[in-house]
């Protein structure tokens, strides 16, 4: 790899970047091997999505949003979704070995970043932080090899809905701000099941087909619509669900390798994911989810199941730099998190919980007790500063994230 002039400013280093490709998620998944932040209720909100996007997480999901509330009430839109013009990252990516290199990557459908095509009447629908999205830069200014392309990441909104009507209204409202929507078919909680959402859809393939088809009809065939499923102990059920979803025209499929009744302490069933991938039979790309804690798990998931996208949930909560091949949360991630949370705003209980997840492995038993007793964001920051965290001294907010490990070390 060519060397970098360490004395150069960012402006000088990044002056020659090519125009990035903005691809729909299905194209990203078909031709590359993206890493994905799973939808996480309460946790995959804007500051955390932005944080992981600095560390080789190319596709991020919002938390599950109730489509009915979102389409009906402004208050729900404000509380459930916020985004920023610069939350999507920029990445050097190599075409995957399995991708058909004769098939030129199509830059179709969502050609624009939302900021390129702002409609004024959507401005007050949600909380939208405007920044200069062109300030986002990849982790290194140097093209890693001749096949590498510069690619912009994707943001997907996940909805839960028991019917088509709420789902399509919600899709339409959120569409200017995201690159696609995902239908939750995996939430195992009893209240959700009773409402006819999440796991309740796993055994309602016709309803899922109708919902996807309705989104397609309203939003057009270019709009990305995916589903996130759990595997079923009865493989025939998984097969029927997938066939219906394919028939309705899903853009890609996300598979969590646990059944509805399995707790997350059970190991992920890679064979179950592989079965779903084989059922899809290459008609759309797939992402695999479950027990991604290390970079080796990422590689293993791709090798054992045939998915191109790898989705992590608890692993990223514990170590947001997981996809950049860090084995535990580096201190600059904590610094970035504090900067992003204070700039965007994040309520204390969430701020506190994220820090506890990230630092869990570094705390002694006593420190854990102390940390859990803190009752404000400033108390948590003071506490960390007293233990040597120097989060204010980074060379600019994004400094360490750009130079993620393995790409550039200083």
Ligand X SMILES: Cc1cc2nc3c(=O)[nH]c(=O)nc-3n(C[C@H](O)[C@H](O)[C@H](O)COP(=O)(O)O)c2cc1C
Angle between helices 348-359 and 377-386 in degrees, nearest 10: 30
Report the C-alpha gap between 237 and 200 in whole angstroms: 13
Q: What is the CA radius of gyration of the chain?
A: 21
- In the bound state with ligand X, the residue whose beta carbon lies nearer, of 60 and 84, is 60
Check: CB of residue 102 under 8 Å from CB of residue 148: no
Q: Provide, rounded to whole angstroms, the least separation between the CB of residue 158 and ligand X.
A: 6
- In the bound state with ligand X, the residue whose beta carbon lies nearer, of 64 and 241, is 64
Q: Provide, rounded to whole angstroms, the least separation between the CB of residue 65 and ligand X.
A: 8
Question: Which of 394, 374, 398, 400 minimizes the C-alpha distance to 386?
Answer: 374
- In the bound state with ligand X, the residue whose beta carbon lies nearer, of 143 and 353, is 353
Q: Are strands 82-84 and 127-129 parallel, antiparallel or unpaired?
A: parallel
Report the C-alpha gap between 307 and 153 in whole angstroms: 18
Residue reference for tokens 């075409």: 95
Q: Provide, rounded to whole angstroms, the least separation between the CB of residue 275 and ligand X.
A: 17
Interface residues with ligand X (CB under 6 A)? 38-41, 43, 63-64, 158, 184, 186-187, 228, 256, 264, 289-292, 312-315
- In the bound state with ligand X, the residue whose beta carbon lies nearer, of 21 and 201, is 201
Q: Which of 43, 86, 187, 199 is catalytic?
A: 187
Q: Provide, rounded to whole angstroms, the least separation between the CB of residue 242 and ligand X.
A: 17
Question: Which of 180, 221, 235, 223 minimizes the C-alpha distance to 36?
Answer: 180
Cα dihedral 21/23/25/27 (nearest 10): -100
Q: Provide, rounded to whole angstroms, the least separation between the CB of residue 291 and ligand X.
A: 5
Check: CB of residue 59 under 8 Å from CB of residue 47: no
- In the bound state with ligand X, the residue whose beta carbon lies nearer, of 20 and 257, is 257
Sign of the torsion formed by the C-alpha atoms of 368, 374, 377 and 379: negative
Query: Residue 93 forms beta bridges with which residues?
Result: 149
Q: Per-residue DSSP letters for 211-226?
A: HHHHHHHHH-TTS-EE
Q: Provide, rounded to whole angstroms, the least separation between the CB of residue 257 and ligand X.
A: 8
Report the C-alpha gap between 294 and 315 in whole angstroms: 8
286 among known catalytic residues: no
- In the bound state with ligand X, the residue whose beta carbon lies nearer, of 72 and 260, is 260
Check: CB of residue 40 under 8 Å from CB of residue 348: no
Question: Annotated active-site positions, please?
Answer: 187
């Amino acid at each position: 790899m060519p060397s970098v002039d360490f004395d150069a400013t960012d402006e000088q280093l990044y002056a020659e970047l090519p125009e990035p490709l903005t691809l729909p998620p299905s194209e990203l998944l078909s031709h590359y091997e993206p890493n994905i932040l799973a939808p996480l209720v309460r946790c995959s909100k804007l500051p955390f999505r932005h944080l992981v996007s600095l560390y080789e997480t190319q596709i991020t999901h919002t938390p599950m949003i109730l489509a009915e509330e979102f389409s009906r009430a402004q208050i729900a839109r404000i509380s459930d979704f916020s985004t920023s013009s610069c939350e999507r990252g920029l990445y050097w990516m190599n075409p995957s070995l399995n991708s058909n290199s004769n098939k030129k990557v199509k830059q179709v459908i969502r050609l624009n970043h939302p900021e390129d095509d702002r409609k004024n009447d959507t401005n007050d629908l949600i909380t939208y932080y405007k920044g200069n999205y062109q300030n986002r830069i990849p982790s290194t200014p140097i093209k890693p090899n001749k096949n590498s392309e510069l690619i912009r990441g994707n943001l997907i909104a996940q909805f839960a809905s028991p019917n088509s009507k709420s789902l399509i209204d919600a899709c339409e409202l959120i569409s200017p701000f995201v690159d696609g929507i995902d239908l939750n078919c995996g939430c195992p909680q009893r209240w959700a099941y009773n409402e006819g959402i999440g796991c309740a859809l796993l055994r309602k393939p016709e309803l899922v087909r109708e919902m996807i088809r309705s989104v397609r009809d309203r939003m057009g065939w270019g709009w990305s619509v995916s589903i996130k499923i759990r595997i079923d102990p009865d493989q025939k059920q998984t097969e029927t669900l997938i066939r219906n979803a394919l028939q309705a025209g899903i853009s890609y499929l996300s598979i969590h390798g646990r059944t509805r009744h399995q707790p997350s302490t059970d190991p992920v069933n890679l064979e179950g994911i592989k079965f779903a991938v084989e059922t899809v039979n290459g008609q759309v790309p797939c992402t695999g989810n479950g027990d991604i804690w290390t970079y080796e798990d990422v590689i293993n998931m791709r090798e054992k199941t045939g998915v191109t996208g790898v989705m992590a949930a608890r692993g990223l909560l514990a170590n947001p730099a997981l996809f950049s091949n860090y084995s535990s949360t580096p201190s600059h991630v904590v610094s970035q998190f504090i900067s992003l949370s204070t700039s965007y705003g994040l309520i204390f209980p969430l701020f506190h919980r994220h820090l506890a997840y990230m630092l869990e492995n570094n705390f002694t038993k006593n420190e854990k007790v102390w940390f859990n007793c803190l009752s404000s964001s400033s108390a948590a920051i003071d506490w960390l500063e007293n233990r040597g965290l120097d989060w204010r001294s980074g060379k600019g907010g994004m400094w360490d994230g750009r130079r993620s490990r393995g790409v550039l070390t200083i």
